[in-house]
Structure 1
Amino acid sequence: MDISGITGIDIRPDEPATVPKGNSKLGKEDFMTLLLKQLSYQDPLDPMDSAEFTTQLTQFSSLEELANMRQTLEDVLAFQQSMQNAAVTNLIGKSVKVSGDTTQLEGSASLDFELMSNATVAEATIFDAGGRSVATVSLGALPKGEQTHTWNGTDEDGTHLPDGTYTFSVTAQDISGNPVAVQTSSMGTVAGISFQDNITYLMLEDGRKVHLNEIRTVEERRI
């Protein structure tokens, strides 16, 4: 912890106490050095004013307390980070729902989304890796809230598509024909954890890397 603006320090010009180059503020070691220098050059017949000396000692005491407080806070934050890192490893092998529009086809695929209000009609469109529409799924009338529907993996002609990663979108309308807001999400299984620059990421089996803030739900692995 640094302080600046210390006053009342009278150092002889022939033996200056300097602050390290590149540092325009005083640390507690610099402060003590200057204070000791000042005491060593006092005139016994004209000593430093006691009130001024007390003020400087008080400043040093406050500086020491602030430095100790900062170290304590840093220790607490480091402990919290280590506890989070240890706890998040329990997610390995679990299924997590994260914000996104991807779905993994393995015979069938899950379409997860949330409707912000009731819908009288809803429809999901499936896209392949090239962004081409390959299937449309009628979802009918749906209530407000979280929704999970299963796509059987077939295209418009009823042909079963190869397993892999697909994306999807959902459109919906209310009873008045107005569009209903939809937030899509996707499921994934946590295969590992990555710690990068003090940020924790989940590594999913399909290769995605997601931030902890993107997790919406956690559940046992879907079969």
Structure 2
Amino acid sequence: MADVTSVGQSQSVLDQYAQSEKQTEKSNELGKNDFLKLLVAQMNNQNPLEPQDNTEFVAQLAQFSSVEGIDNLNNTVDDMASELRSSQALQASSLVGQSVVVPSNDFGFLQNGDLIASYSEVPATTMNLTVQIKNKAGQTLETIDLGYHEKGPMSLRWDGANLEMDGEIVELDRSLLNRQEYFVDEEGNQVLDDAGNPIPVPYPIGEYQFEVSASIDGVNENIGAAMSGKVDSVTLGTNNQITLNLAGGAKASLSDVQQILN
């Protein structure tokens, strides 16, 4: 049979703790303040004839120290997470007005005086790399032979008329292009560049897509091309999720960015 004094003592401790909890918000977690209240209540209600064992008391103090340490660690982690979110938000805001390449973006939005870009991974060295430029409707506007490329990353930039591969201008045979429109002056004469060549009129504002293919070991393979988009704005949503709002209506997360265009 249980000791009557022990049972009454335990009940008194629980009653005292329950009374103190009426003044505070209920929680499923036992914090350091709650732990200390229980410890003090137990000391106030211990049997004077059978005081608490020193070893047990030291063990409880050690538990209190552990609870306090965990609580402080949680606060530190929360502070670090808050600083990280602030840093990410600042980084995202700095991208407004810049173009970024993200894998979820199928189309690049070409604007006046701007360019669109793509990023691809060439699986093996090839002598025959080709890009097809398509409009939003899926119509192939141009098919351009890019020639040799080693295995590895490959980037394209296009302003609607001129093309760059890995930062180098692609020499285009414009007689083979579908678009044969050039700038003219007020008298209807073609405007020439410094080299004496007519200046092509770029494709109009709109959404375009690059489809890259390569001949590898005699087999023609399609290579994925992640397209760029200009960051119009940044949204900080629930759970501090950062979303980049791209020109043309596409959206992407900050972690999706593969390349930032200068």
Q: TM-score range by the shorter chain?
A: 0.7 to 0.9
Q: How does 1:81-92 map to 2 (within 5 A)?
A: 81-92=85-96
Give, in whole Å, the separation in 2 of the partners of 1:27 and 1:111.
54
- Give 2:132's aligned residue: 125
Q: How does 1:119-158 map to 2 (within 5 A)?
A: 119-130=126-137, 132-144=138-150, 145-148=153-156, 150=158, 152=161, 158=179
Match of 2:46 among 33, 42, 45: 42
Q: Confirm or deny that 1:211 pairs with 2:253.
A: yes
Give, in whole Å, the separation in 1 of the partners of 2:13 and 2:255.
59
Match of 2:235 among 166, 189, 194: 194
The percent of aligned pairs where both chains have the same amino acid is 25
Give, in whole Å, the separation in 2 of the partners of 1:110 and 1:32.
63
- CA apart distance, 1:157: 5.7
Judge conservation of contact 1:201–1:210 (CA < 8 Å) in 2: yes
- Give 1:166's aligned residue: 208
Q: Confirm or deny that 1:29 pairs with 2:36.
A: no
- Give 1:184's aligned residue: 225
User: How well do the aligned residues superpose, as a CA RMSD in angstroms?
Assistant: 3.1
Judge conservation of contact 1:117–1:180 (CA < 8 Å) in 2: no
The structure-2 alpha-carbon separation of the partners of 1:109 and 1:29, relative to structure 1 and needing over 3 Å to count, comes to closer
The structure-2 alpha-carbon separation of the partners of 1:66 and 1:165, relative to structure 1 and needing over 3 Å to count, comes to same
Render the CA deviation track for 1:101-141: whole Å, top value 9, x for unaligned: 313345796452422322222333344334x3333413242
Match of 1:112 among 115, 118, 134: 118
Render the CA deviation track for 1:20-54: whole Å, top value 9, x for unaligned: 8773x533233222222221221212111111111
The structure-2 alpha-carbon separation of the partners of 1:101 and 1:138, relative to structure 1 and needing over 3 Å to count, comes to same
Give, in whole Å, the separation in 2 of the partners of 1:80 and 1:112.
29
The structure-2 alpha-carbon separation of the partners of 1:113 and 1:26, relative to structure 1 and needing over 3 Å to count, comes to closer
Judge conservation of contact 2:118–2:210 (CA < 8 Å) in 1: no
The structure-2 alpha-carbon separation of the partners of 1:27 and 1:14, relative to structure 1 and needing over 3 Å to count, comes to closer
- Tell which structure's C-alpha radius of gyration is larger: 2
Judge conservation of contact 1:113–1:182 (CA < 8 Å) in 2: no
Counterpart amino acid of residue 132 in structure 2: T
Aligned length: 207
Question: Comparing both structures, which one devotes a greater share of its residues to helix?
Answer: 2
Question: What stretches of structure 2 of length at least 5 have no aligned partner?
Answer: 1-8, 163-176, 182-202
Question: What stretches of structure 1 of length at least 5 have no aligned partner?
Answer: 1-9
Render the CA deviation track for 1:51-93: whole Å, top value 9, x for unaligned: 1111111111111111011111111211121122123322222
